[in-house]
Amino acid sequence: MPNLMLLPKHIILVRHGESEGNKDPSAYTTTPDHKISLTEHGRAQARLAGSRLRDLISDNGSSHDWRVYFYVSPYERTRSTLREIGKSFSKKRVIGVREECRIREQDFGNFQVEERMRITKQTREKFGRFFYRFLEGESAADVFDRVSSFLESLWRDIDLNRLGNDPSQELNLIIISHGLASRVFLMKWFRWTVEQFEQLYNPGNCEIRVMELGPGGEYSLAIHHTDEELRGWGLSDEMIEDQKWRIKADRTNLHGHCKGYLNSFFDQELDSDEDIKEGDIVSDNEFEDVKEDIDSDNDYKDICVPNS
């Protein structure tokens, strides 16, 4: 477990500002996704986000001993967002910037044909947003895997103090990424299920989502954000209650906090071995009888189904 003295006070997710692709999806038909730039409005959004981030981290100027470390997706729109955000921070406040490929946008393929992409996204809604994989691209599950790898590296960086921060200074991490990557990041961090992920909404352009450190060493979204905000992101009442619990949770005792998830798989009425009914227990002999019946059915199919 990382040294609590080295843990960042805030881990902040920021989606890029409005891009040319957000304004006009036809841009993806002629411009590679990673080269899509910000609009003028998007740059203004990023400058405003920078001012808000500085106020948040400095507690509106009342906190003086703090530093920031930035992680940024390699896409043009995220890099440009960082340039605009950076105008609110002096160099002495920034201890590092790292371009991180694992927090890039979900790959949708190469050049995107607008009408085909519209139909594909409709199909994704029917199939399920987490597991649907775009042709020549990725699924959200693929993004989850690489974001999980990034999180492992992040923890090592924090634990070994590879970020080079003075423990006497408040460290703040700002991750400038994309809508789906941000949702997947939170999913991995807070151990949300696939069903819970499917209910989440993308953050808006330059929207800020703040994970703040509680006294027990655990992070929560409910310190900085209201119930109404969290509900607007798609969090259920149960997920919001979990965020509130995390405010004062002890990081060393998180494994015991999974009763609700256990109840979705195991009978809540079975508190002891004596509660298990004999009829619910399958013996080895009964299992062999079922297996023989299945094997017999397969033998029948082997006889009746002609070779193709």
Cα 242 to Cα 223: distance, rounded to the nearest angstrom: 12
Tokens describing residue 188: 């991995």
What would the 3-class secondary structure string for the chain be?
A: CCCHHHCCCEEEEEECCCEHHHHCHHHHHCCCHHHCCECHHHHHHHHHHHHHHHHHHCCCCCCCCEEEEEEECCCHHHHHHHHHHHHHCCHHHEEEEEECHHHCCCCCCCCCCHHHHHHHHHHHHHHCCCCCCCCCCCCHHHHHHHHHHHHHHHHHHHHCCCCCCCCCCEEEEEEEECHHHHHHHHHHHHCCCHHHHCCCCCCCCCCEEEEEECCCECEECCCCCCHHHHHHHCCCHHHHHHHHHHHCCEHHHHHHCCHHHHHCCCCCCCCCHHHCCHHHCCCHHHHHHHHHHHHHHHHHHHHHCCCC
Q: Choosing from 76, 84, 105, 170, which is the catalytic residue?
A: 105
| 109 is annotated as contributing to ligand binding | no
| 21 is annotated as contributing to ligand binding | yes
| 198 is annotated as contributing to ligand binding | no
Asked about 255 being catalytic, the answer comes back as: no
Asked about 10 being catalytic, the answer comes back as: no
| 18 is annotated as contributing to ligand binding | yes
**Nearest CA to 175 among 92, 84, 68?**
68
| Angle in degrees, 0-180, between the axes of helices 140-159 and 179-190, rounded to the nearest 10 | 60
| 224 is annotated as contributing to ligand binding | no
| 52 is annotated as contributing to ligand binding | no
DSSP bridge pairs for 217: 250
| 114 is annotated as contributing to ligand binding | no
| 288 is annotated as contributing to ligand binding | no
Cα 108 to Cα 202: distance, rounded to the nearest angstrom: 16
Q: Choosing from 16, 84, 138, 212, which is the catalytic residue?
A: 16
| 225 is annotated as contributing to ligand binding | no
Which residues line the annotated binding site for substrate?
15-22, 77
Q: Hey, which residues are catalytic here?
A: 16, 105
Which residues line the annotated binding site?
15-22, 77
